[in-house]
């Protein structure tokens, strides 16, 4: 049984984009992480926390994975993982 993270925040109701929808050079602030508990925990352990500023740096030639900047670090995420990270554009 898959356990989804429940939150009163509903990014899909506010037209808030997910990280996979941003283009290289665009920045955003993490507003919510959605998905099963294991994925959300893994993303949070990587430093992807609500309120953190992220920038999309590059997309691989076929569009997956994408490279982001988080603070002084660079991370590569699968497009399916980035789709679970909702951001407010800055």
pLDDT digits 0-9 by tens, 37-83: 999 999 999 999 999 999 999 999 988 899 999 999 999 999 999 99
Compute the distance between CA of residue 75 and CA of residue 90 in angstroms, rounded to an integer.
Answer: 20
Q: Over 90: is that where the pLDDT of 4 sits?
A: no
pTM, 2 dp: 0.80
Q: Over 50: is that where the pLDDT of 33 sits?
A: yes
Query: What is the residue whose two structure tokens read 């283009």?
Result: 23
- In 3-state terms, what secondary structure has residue 12? helix
Q: Over 70: is that where the pLDDT of 20 sits?
A: yes
The secondary structure of 15-84, three-state, reads CCCEHHHCCCCCEEEEEEECCEHHHHHHHHHCCCCCCCEEEEEEECCCCCCEEEEECCEEEEECHHHHCC
Q: Which structural domains are found in the chain, ordered by start?
A: 16-89 (2.30.30.90)
Question: What's the token pair of residue 14?
Answer: 């506010």
């Amino acid at each position: 049984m898959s356990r989804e993270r429940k939150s009163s925040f509903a990014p899909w109701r506010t037209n808030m984009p997910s990280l996979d929808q941003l283009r290289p050079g665009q920045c955003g602030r993490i507003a919510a992480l959605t998905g099963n508990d294991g994925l959300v925990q893994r993303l949070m352990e990587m430093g992807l926390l609500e309120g953190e500023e992220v920038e999309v740096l590059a997309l691989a030639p076929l569009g997956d994975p994408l490279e982001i900047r988080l603070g002084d670090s660079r991370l590569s995420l699968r497009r399916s993982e980035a789709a679970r990270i909702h951001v407010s554009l800055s």
